[in-house]
A and B are shown apart, each in its own frame.
Chain A
C-alpha cells in the first residue's frame, strides 16, 4: 500500500513517467505505507484466485479497513471491477483513470526501490513459485474439463470406424481365398465374422450349427456353397490367423457399440437441450469442432449453421459467390426429413434455436431438457407449415382457389443460326452510296464558302 506524497504532480499525466526514472525520485513521490507478507504460497494462491473472481479475501479486507479507512483518502485501483467491489463491500471511494495507470506503471518499474528489505532475487523467486502453483491450480481445476470426454469419445468413434472398416475388408479378402461364396451370401459384416469364427475351415460347415446367426434358407445356401466352393485349401495355422483377426473385429465392434452408448449418456448429461434439438452425434461433432461447449456457446447462430463447411465457405467468400447453406447441421434429423428445397431454410431456423440450447446448456445452472423439447416442437410445427405452403399452391384451400397460369403453347422449334459460320467481319465498314454523296456535297459547300472569303 503506497501513499502519493505530491498530488500536484499527478495532474500532468504525460510527464508522470519522468518522476519514476530513478528510485530516489520515485521515493519522493510515493511512500510505502504498509507491506503485508503472505505466510506461504498456499495463502498467496488463495488471495490470487479470490482476486481473479472479483472477490476480496479476508487479509485484503483487514488491511484496507485498518489503514485506508483511517486515512480517509481515495484508493487508486488498477482494476476497475475490483474498485467497484471494494466500494460496495467496504464503502471506500476508489479511483481509476489514466493517471492511475501511469502511476501503476511507474510504481511497477521502481518496485525494488520502493519496497525496502525485499531483494530482486527474492521477488523473482516469489513470482516463479507463485506462477507455478497458479498454473498447476489452473490445469487441475478447469471447469470445462467435463466436455473433453465428449470430444475425445467422438474422435475415438471416428477412428474406430475407419479401423473397423479396414479390418473387415482385410478379413473378407483373406478368407475369400478359401471360401469366396460366403462373402457374396452374407453381406452383413458382423454376421460374416461371427460365422467365420464359429466354423473356420470349409470342411466344418456341414456339421456346424449356424441357426442363431443366420435364417434357415441362408444357412442352407451356405452349407450348399461350402460343398462346391472353388476356394483354395488352407492349413491350420492360416485359419488360426484368420480367426485371430476375426476375434479382433468382433471385439472392436462390440466396443464401438459400447462407446456409442457411453457417448449418448455423456451428451445427455452434459448438454441435454442440444441432444434434444439436433441429436447426440451431431451435437457431439459440433462440440468437438469448436473445441469445448463454452467455445461453441460463443459462436453466432450463422457460424453454427455452417460449422464444418469452412473450405466451401472461404472459397465462396474469396470468389464472391454464394456461401454454403449448411455444415455439420445437415446431418440433424430435422434437416434430413425435409425436401431439398427447404433444407436451407430449416437449417437456418434449426441453427438459431440450437444456439439458444447450447448457451442454455453451457451457462445455465439446471440440467433439464424442457427448453430443448419446447423449441423442437416449435420447429417441427414451422416445418409442417412450410411443407403445407408448398402443397396448398397446387390444390388451393377452401376459401381461395389455387392460382394457375393460363396455358400458352410456346412453340419450341429450334432453327440453325448461320451467323456464327463465317469469321469474316460483316459489312459495317463499307459506307453506303447515299452517305458518300451527302458527304461530297458538304465538302463542296465548304470549299465554295472558303473561295468566297478569300476573294
Chain B
C-alpha cells in the first residue's frame, strides 16, 4: 500500500487493492462529500489523502484520461467558474496548498450554501456567489489569476470564459474548459459542437493547445486546455 506522486504536481496515486487518484487533505480528519480518506505513514509523518472520484469530477476524469498539463500546481491562483457544491473545488484547494488561492464562483444559492460551508474549513477557497456572466460585479474580490477552470454547462460558456479571462487572467495564463455537447446544441453531433466552441475561443485570443474527450467517465464531454495571450518567447525578435 503506497502513495506515489503523479506526473502532475500536487496529485498522487494510491496503489493498493485498487488504484485510485488522491490528493493530500488540507484539513485532516474531515471528508467534504463523503469520499474515502486514506491515512499513510511516510517516513514517520502521518499524511491523510482523499480519493478523487473521476465520475463526479471532470478534472479527475481529464487527469485520468491523460491530459498533458493541468497547469494547476501548488501556490497557483485559480479562478473556478461553476463551483457547484465545492466537491472538485476542495480537490483543487488540496493541490494548490495553503499558499495558493482558488476563487470559486457559483450562482445557485442552494449549491452556494454548501460551497460556503466548504470554504469555512479551507482558507484558500474564496466563495463568490455571483453570475459568472458579469465579471465586473465581483471584480473587487479577485486579483489576477494564473488559471481559469470553467465547468459552467451553459450555451454561451465561451463568452463567459472570454469575459472572465479579459478581466482576471494574466498574460500567458492558462484555461481549462469542460464542454458538454448536449448543453451547447443537442441536435448537432458532439465533434461539430467541440469544433465550433474551439473556433469561438480562438476568436477571443484564447489559444487552445489540447482537446481531450472524457470517455469513459462522461458521454459527449470534452476538455479544452489552452493559453491566453501567450508571452513572446525570449530570443524572438
Interface on A for B, CB 8 Å cutoff? 17, 48, 51-52, 78-79, 101, 104-105, 108-109, 111, 123-124, 127-128, 130-132, 134-136, 138-139, 142, 314, 317-318
Contact = CB atoms under 8 A, between A and B. Distances in A.
B171 interface: yes
B113 A139 contact: yes
B128 A128 contact: no
B187 A131 contact: no
Nearest to B77: A124
A130 B141 contact: yes
Given A135-B129, A138-B130, A139-B109, 14 more contacts: A51-B140, A78-B136, A79-B136, A101-B167, A104-B167, A105-B166, A127-B126, A127-B141, A131-B126, A132-B119, A132-B127, A134-B128, A135-B119, A138-B109
Contacts of A127: 126, 141-143
A131 B128 contact: yes
A101 B171 CA distance: 13
B143 A128 contact: no
B101 interface: yes
B57 to A, nearest CB: 22
B143 to A, nearest CB: 6
Contacts of B112: 135, 138-139
A135 B128 contact: yes
Contact of A78 (B113, B120, B139, B141): B139
A313 to B, nearest CB: 10
A369 B101 CA distance: 51
A318 B185 CA distance: 11
B116 interface: yes
28 contacts: A17-B229, A78-B136, A78-B139, A101-B166, A105-B144, A105-B170, A109-B144, A111-B143, A123-B143, A124-B101, A127-B126, A127-B142, A128-B123, A130-B141, A131-B126, A134-B129, A135-B112, A135-B115, A135-B116, A135-B128, A135-B129, A136-B116, A138-B109, A138-B112, A142-B109, A314-B186, A317-B186, A318-B187
A52 B168 CA distance: 18
Given A139-B113, A142-B109, A134 B141 contact: yes
A128 B141 CA distance: 8
Contact of A108 (B119, B129, B144): B144
A322 to B, nearest CB: 15
Contacts of A136: 116
B233 interface: no
A139 B115 CA distance: 12
A51 B129 CA distance: 16
B237 interface: no
B46 interface: no
Contacts of A314: 186-187
